[in-house]
Structure 1
């Protein structure tokens, strides 16, 4: 037991000494951001709000914001990627796209229309339809979270260039 504890302590010390740290939220140079063009109950909007650091507040008015994210397109596609000779679906391709632009509080364009996309292939069997529905929801959530992180990284880079 003592040997296991000693191993754990030495492993922890080794990792902290090499600079290992858990991933931190993207540091944004803005404290007030407006999100426009999203549907009222958009899961993508929820993921972006969740990905924002605690120091950043979402405001309703673009005039009160330091940066404005304008959604031009927020879509989910589900297409058949593979099927059997009998016509049964064996694999779906899920695709989430977010087309957006970044603007300043006065409406000046910081980043023109940009499209981010994530896709995943998902196996499918009719006998496990309920489980596959849950798997699909999880994959879509993960893809949206990844797109939100990419968007915030672009926003952070835009802020560094503006300085």
Structure 2
């Protein structure tokens, strides 16, 4: 899985990888070959070659963890602002119906914060902040579209409406 698809390393996994690289540094200092180091650490020879090159040019500190590959693009304060925008409803943003879609949320984020997200990124962000998809009851489908709701029911006790992916989840 690639980073853009939600992959990447957890903090524990980053720490584990950093420890591997530091073990490799000890073995570089002892003069062991790349193949031996790769076999002992269970990594590719190419990784060991890259690590050795970095170690030669910048020392052991070059092989430490650099932290997460990215950070959330919207801060907690910005996400609260986004929720306020969602509470205003789609009509306030120029859409005729009452239905939020992930694409519409993506557009609001781009307009309001000048930040781009993929549709999948919007979905993951909403889930991360406690939103979930709620499909309408079959008989109510004509009256009310399904959508995303806050798990806590929103500030006023009513479900807060948010994006509804085409065709459900």
TM-score higher than 0.5: no
Report 1 or 2 for greater relative contact order, CA contacts < 8 Å, sequence distance ≥ 6: 1
Higher-Rg structure is 2
More helix as a share of residues: 2
Higher normalized strand content (fraction of residues): 1
